[in-house]
Amino acid sequence: MKEIARHGYAVGPSLIYPTLQSLEKQGLLKSSKRVVGGKVRKYYKTTEKGRELLEESMTKIVELVNEVLK
């Protein structure tokens, strides 16, 4: 949330956590749990499928930006 806020967007847990859970259900992220300071924390990592979709999306974004800036 801090990283997103750094880019000028105000988002809270009610948006972030359901989104992460949805991406995990789609097989784009995988979560693991760790105990930190006595509390269970959930960490997410992209899957191969998630990385492929990200790369595909980035290519499309670059194409769109190039078209807009021409």
Over residues 39-60, the pLDDT tens digits come to: 999 999 999 999 999 999 999 9
The predicted pLDDT at position 15 comes to 93
Torsion of CA 34, 27, 14, 42, to 10 degrees: 0
31 pLDDT band, cuts 50/70/90, is very high
State the DSSP H helix or E strand holding residue 35, giving kind and residue range, or none if neither. strand 29-36
List domains and CATH numbers for the chain: 2-69 (1.10.10.10)
| Band (36; pLDDT cuts 50, 70, 90) | very high
Per-residue pLDDT band for 24 (boundaries 50, 70, 90) equals very high
Length of the chain counted residue by residue: 70
